[in-house]
Chain A
Amino acid sequence: MAIATEQPGVGAPHGGTPLDPHAIRAEFPIFRTTVHGRPLIYLDSASTSQKPQAVLDAVNGYYREYNANVHRGIYEIGERATEAYEAVRASIARFINAPDVHEVVFTRNATEAINLVAYTWGRRTIGQSDAIVLTEMEHHANLVPWQLLVQEKDGDLEFIPITDEGRLRLDVYDVLLRLRPRLVAFTQVSNTLGTINPVREMVDRAHAAGALVLIDGAQAVPHVPVDVQALGADFYVFSGHKMLAPPGSGALWARRELLEAMPPFMAGGEMIREVHLRRSEWNAIPWKFEAGTPDAAAAIGFGAAAEYLMALGMDRVRAHEHDLIAYALDTLRAELPQLTLYGPPAAERGGVVSFNVPNVHPHDVAQILDRFGIAIRAGHHCTMPLHERLDLAATCRASFNVYSTRDDIDALVDGLREVVRIFGD
């Protein structure tokens, strides 16, 4: 049963032509909503993305036609649910070019995937004085689990600093690698600055120093083509909800031998092969890590989202967003020169533009933009240490996805002009 390949509204791959964001937008029902009497201008996709009809239909189809627990029922709809659920694993494996579908472990989100690695591989591997190298730009999800781990094991955290333009200081990275860390964990794309980090180069250097590498792909999978084999990663994590899928879906990919050597994470049903009163045997990977009844509907939506993006073509998604970011940076600079923009140039950036309006707190900016139906994020975006490094309490962030258009950016500029007018002295 191939629910994940049913793609209402997508049709055949669009070839090499640029994406038509207006046609794509028409496939996202939420854009028929109005906010304060105006059409919704959604510029908070880095927080969570909107969902296309194809994903809504896949989720709805599961509930309406074959809602049953997966891996349980010896009956038609139970088997259908299991098949659809496992078909998602194959879609996700193709989406990130994993060599083996059984290396894809379903999790609730990127956060759970990172915790899974920290609690299983981490607790087994990290000992006293062992170092883990992170960066100053990590989302709290790729920071706090490692803090807990080194507190428990008396290990050490080290951080690759950033330059003022928001690039990682690879010269310092080389010095940190001399500490022979066990793990290097960093984000592929920064959720605050948009920086696309040089993953392959960093992975090679880590491996040469004897460290394994975990890549936080939460902000990468919605925006750039991802090939875990080409990246050379050991662990790769991401959330479904930022890539057009429902919340509650996400994945950990890791090399088979790592997963096989790792102890289970949560314990209960599904993750076992045999249970006796005093001992149990674990199921094979990936199910060893999937205890309890999963959110099958979310997973089925996850598969539909991956298929939708693959049908669009991630190269074309990247090209579209690169165009938007370049347009946004140019337009904001030209029309509102008083803004402070953060992060690297468009060529090294995925999905987000962060800025501040002088003497106006980001919450006030967001509140005024809301009157125009424009949704942006205001705050620290779960990167408090990065904001400390930049000496900022908060920033405004506009972020894009496949359905974003230049019109959205023009609306943002108009809204920001109003902010400046209201707050101007």
Chain B
Amino acid sequence: MDDLYRDYILEHYRRPHNFGVLEQPTATYEGANPLCGDRITMMLGIRDGVVAEVGFTGRGCAISQASASLLTDEIKGKPVDAVAKLTTQDLLDLLGIEISPARLKCALLSLDTLEHALAESGVAPARGAAS
């Protein structure tokens, strides 16, 4: 019955990919949804225009944490230019589940945090959300 809590979402929540601290990140950003208590710290290791390494830590709901897990898998090894072009829809496609408006903030926390980390590295994200 649960479209939201598909097995792969729960699997990413229980055993998130790329979870952990980078030794030498070139950019780090901590994002939070204070209203729900979701937190994600995103660390990037950008070398030669490529996201060579990525790690995150955080706590929060299954949607926010699974989203960070899926997103970090997606961007690892990709050119920063391509990563900067990711859209809200790209993230929702990665999640592959129907997200209600009330949970959109949870789903998008990882992308928001990534964009802030990119901005710290001097890359302007396409969504222009980071400021």
Contacts and interface: CB of A to CB of B under 8 A. Distances in A.
A363 B1 contact: no
Given A422-B10, A425-B14, A363 B2 contact: no
Nearest to A392: B37
Interface string B18-41: 000000000000000011111100
A335 interface: no
Interface string A357-387: 0001111100110010000001110001001
> Most A CB atoms within 10 A — which of B35, B37, B103?
B37
B61 A379 contact: no
B119 interface: no
A8 to B, nearest CB: 36
B101 to A, nearest CB: 13
Contact of B5 (A368, A380, A425): A368
A363 B14 contact: no
Interface in A407-425: 422-423, 425
B103 A394 contact: no
A319 interface: no
Contact of B37 (A364, A393, A423, A425): A393
Contacts, number: 47
Contacts of A387: 37
Interface residues of A, number: 19
Nearest to A384: B34
Contacts of B14: 425
B62 A361 contact: yes
A367 B103 contact: yes
Contact of A380 (B37, B38, B62, B63): B37
B50 interface: no
A28 B61 CA distance: 34
A394 B37 contact: yes
B91 interface: no
B1 A423 contact: no
A367 B1 CA distance: 12
B36 to A, nearest CB: 6
B79 interface: no
Contacts of B60: 361, 393
A379 B1 contact: no
Interface in A307-366: 360-364
Contacts of B5: 364, 368, 422-423
B114 interface: no
A392 B60 CA distance: 11
A380 B103 CA distance: 16
Closest 3 CB pairs of A and B: A393-B37, A361-B61, A363-B61
Given A363-B63, A368-B2, A380-B37, 12 more contacts: A361-B38, A361-B60, A364-B5, A371-B1, A378-B36, A379-B36, A393-B37, A393-B38, A394-B36, A422-B2, A423-B5, A423-B10
13 contacts: A363-B36, A363-B103, A363-B106, A364-B5, A364-B61, A364-B63, A368-B2, A368-B5, A371-B1, A380-B37, A393-B37, A423-B5, A423-B10
